[in-house]
Amino acid sequence: MNTGQLTDFLTISRANPHGLAPSQHHLACGSRIEVWDSGVLYLEPASSQDVSSNKDIIISCGIHGNETAPIEMCERLLKQIVTGQLVCQQRLLLIFGNLEGMNLAVREVDENLNRLFCGEHAKGQISNNERRRAAKLEHYVSRFYQARSTAIRLHYDLHTAIRASKYEQFAVYPYQASNTYSRRLLAFLANADIKTILLSHAPATTFSCYSAQYFAAESLTIELGKVAPFGKNDLSRLACLHASLKNELNDSEWQPQPLALNKLRVFKVCQEIIKHSEQFCLHFSEDVANFSAFAPNSLLASDEHRCWCVGAQEEVVIFPNAAVAVSHRAALMAVVTELTDKMLN
């Protein structure tokens, strides 16, 4: 690739999904860009040795190939950086995840990439598109964060949901064994007008859990509305997040507005419904919106040897999907909770 082609980085990556040759480029602002692989681009600002460049930021999108709105937003962000409209002052790793999935307009080609992190890709004898990609992405994340240990490590993994959501944009906060959460990360979300947070109940093999667990990154899966094909997204719905990311990248002095905890709507996962066999079925319509509520004791799902019901308190459903692979999660159930000052660090 030559420097003039950087604005077409995604198009070129999609045309060469199996390994774009590494290349180096210099921008007029002094930043250096390195293409590490198809869909994986590293930016080092001229100021990377200054104390002001104290954040190492990963922005990933398209881990599911058909979740196009964040892919389009990231493409815009990259064009703004390459053309000099946005000067990126922080180390950045930009990842377009599942390029083959994008080309086929599917969520996954062989397997769900977002279940293959934390070494899951290496289990068993299987080799496929997503397993190879997960292994490579783990390697790039490690290379990026391990280059220095003094920076604040951030990871925003951007998605869209299969169905509509009662709260259109929300974040899944990876499991925190300490039960403490980053005040700054939550303030960033609120600043991006994402005020619904789902706290995970257990470690998972998702991308955001990987960076959180292995590198102590402040990471989130961020859901940005309902899935739509390329060209059919209303990117104005992502304008707030786009603006916050630009501030995060560009202005080293920038801080989100102080967090008002009472402005957040917080849920905590209380049960995970796993599909154990092909007999699995959900006992409600699959097209209910995320965060739809179910009354105490309602029957939710059944499988060969068990069923799942709501507990003694009302629960909401997130990501219901009976079509997932056997052994994968078919829905999350959550209850309303609160974050208190004591739980923030």
Contacts with ligand LFNQLBSZ, residue ranges (CB under 6 A): 64, 114, 159, 161-163, 172, 206, 208, 221, 319, 321
Provide, rounded to whole angstroms, the least separation between the CB of residue 63 and Zn ion: 6
User: Which of the choices Zn ion, ligand LFNQLBSZ, none does residue 321 contact, using the CB cut-off of 5 to 8 A by kind?
Assistant: ligand LFNQLBSZ
Nearer to ligand LFNQLBSZ, 82 or 198 (CB): 198
| Nearest distance in Å: CB 340, Zn ion | 30
223 classed as catalytic: yes
Element housing 56 (H / E): strand 55-61
Tokens 């279940």: give the residue. 115
Tokens of 286: 């699959």
76 contacts which partner out of ligand LFNQLBSZ, Zn ion, none, CB within 5 to 8 A by kind? none
**Smaller CB separation from ligand LFNQLBSZ, 31 or 114:** 114
> Which residues are annotated binding-site positions?
64, 67, 159
76-89 CB burial, b ≥16 within 10 A, e <16: ebbbbbbeeebbbb
Catalytic option among 100, 223, 248, 315: 223
Closer to ligand LFNQLBSZ by Cβ: residue 159 or 275: 159
Could you give the maximum distance between any two Cα atoms of the chain, in Å?
A: 63
Collect all residues with Cβ–Cβ distance below 8 Å to 343 and sequence separation of at least 6: 179, 180, 181
Nearer CB in complex with ligand LFNQLBSZ: 48/206: 206
Q: How far apart are CA 62 and CA 328, in angstroms?
A: 20
Does residue 64 touch Zn ion according to CB under 5 A?
Answer: yes
| Residue 220 near residue 174, CB atoms below 8 Å | yes
Euclidean distance between CA atoms 188 and 130, whole angstroms = 30
Question: Which residues are catalytically annotated?
Answer: 223
Residues in touch with Zn ion (CB under 5 A): 64, 67, 159
